[in-house]
Amino acid sequence: MKLLYILAETNDFWSSRLPLALAVKEKGCEVHLAAPGAARDSKLKEFGFHGHDLPPARNGFSTSAAVKNIFAIKKLLRNLKPDIAHTFTLKYSLLAGLAACRAKNTRHVFTIAGLGYLFSDSGIKSKILLCIAAPFLKHALHKAETVTFQNTDDMQILIRKNFLRAENSVLIRGSGVDLQKFSPRNNTESDPPLVLMPTRLVHDKGISIFIAMAEILRKRRIFARFQIAGGVTEHNPLAITKVEMERMVAGTNVEWIGRVDDMPALYARATLVVYPSWYREGIPRVLLEAAASGKAVVTTDHPGCREAVIYNETGLLVPVKNAEATADAVESILKNYDLRKKMESAGRTLAEREFGIDKVVAETLKIYRL
């Protein structure tokens, strides 16, 4: 049995999909990965996987990039003849669905890990793109045997707008978290307290709100350090460049520490995690990692984010784009040691119960019928 995974980049495979691929391989299946640069990724051969190149996707939803990818996926489906093809973003589900018109013996599984730029941005460009893409997206999603979602809001939006059939939709909450890699560590927190925002550099993740929140707390004489951890991304129209990021934090009390390879160690030093996003994500992986690491969380009452938090038990929810409310929530946790410790313990329990990677893998294998 052949399984083909189609992703925007190999980094996503290694950071989020490797446990699933290993479980599939243990079932005796042949695992293939299609992504830009995958054929040159030597690590795939080390694991016994097969890599196939796709055209670069840095031009977003440009017509030329989309057409090149559709034809590349169509050719790969025709030559490889996988039993299952599984995509993990709305964009690649669209491209794979349009490429699948003659792949009659391939079962398609689409994972919508958030509705992304087309549905989160309120600008005229995204609205025009959505109008253009809508009929193609409906056609593509109807090609899938199963479409999985990470939160109910995203699933209901696409069902209500007739992008897909309800009977083909399945909820799998998040991409899962490695509960051994991300776990509570004793006596590692920074002094003074460290308020951490782990994120990709995208405007709608709420980076400007985090910076404004830190400034409000400085004026209130709340003694803490504020750090943003995350590298530059090239695949999103809402991305923040290195120059823009440096300008945003210049003269503030926020440190931008860039990409961090050892995230478990960084979570261990943090006092709490703040993620003021209004981006249309499935369930943000950083919130699952924070909970598994035993950290209290402040995030927005927004689709995806709120699914990772039990309000007043594992963290606090605040309105989107509201730096004042975010500052209030952070201050209340920093000043209440007992509340924070209860949230840390409850967060770890929630991660163990709902978000372990083994649970996500098992639910996905059921969809594969393995």
Report the pLDDT value the prediction gives residue 129, as an integer from 0 to 100.
72
Query: Average per-residue pLDDT in the chain?
Result: 91
Res 181: pLDDT: 95
pLDDT at res. 121? 55
At a CB cut-off of 8 Å and minimum separation 6, what does 369 contact?
A: none
pLDDT at 102: 65
- Full-model pTM: 0.88
Give the domains, in start order, of the chain with CATH numbers. Answer: 2-171 (3.40.50.2000), 194-355 (3.40.50.2000)
pLDDT of residue 342: 97
Contact between residue 280 and residue 305 where contact means Cβ atoms under 8 Å apart:
no
pLDDT the model gives residue 319: 97
Query: Can you give the three-state secondary structure of the chain, one letter per residue?
Result: CEEEEECCCHHHHHHHHHHHHHHHHHCCCEEEEEECCHHHCHHHHHCCCEEEECCCCCCCCCHHHHHHHHHHHHHHHHHHCCCEEEECCHHHHHHHHHHCCCCCCCEEEEEECCCHHHHHCCCHHHHHHHHHHHHHHHHHHCCCCEEEECCHHHHHHHHHCCCCCHHHEEECCCCCECCCCCCCCCCCCCCCCEEEEECCCEHHHCHHHHHHHHHHHHHCCCCCEEEEECCCCCCCCCECCHHHHHHHHCCCCEEEEECCCCHHHHHHHCCEEEECCCCCCCCCHHHHHHHHCCCEEEEECCCCCHHHCCECCCEEEECCCCHHHHHHHHHHHHHCHHHHHHHHHHHHHHHHHHHEHHHHHHHHHHHHCC
What does the pLDDT read at residue 120?
A: 58
Can you list the residues of the chain whose pLDDT is less than 50?
A: 59
* pLDDT for residue 58: 59
pLDDT of the residue at 115: 80
Nearest to 89 by CA among 63, 109, 64, 59: 109
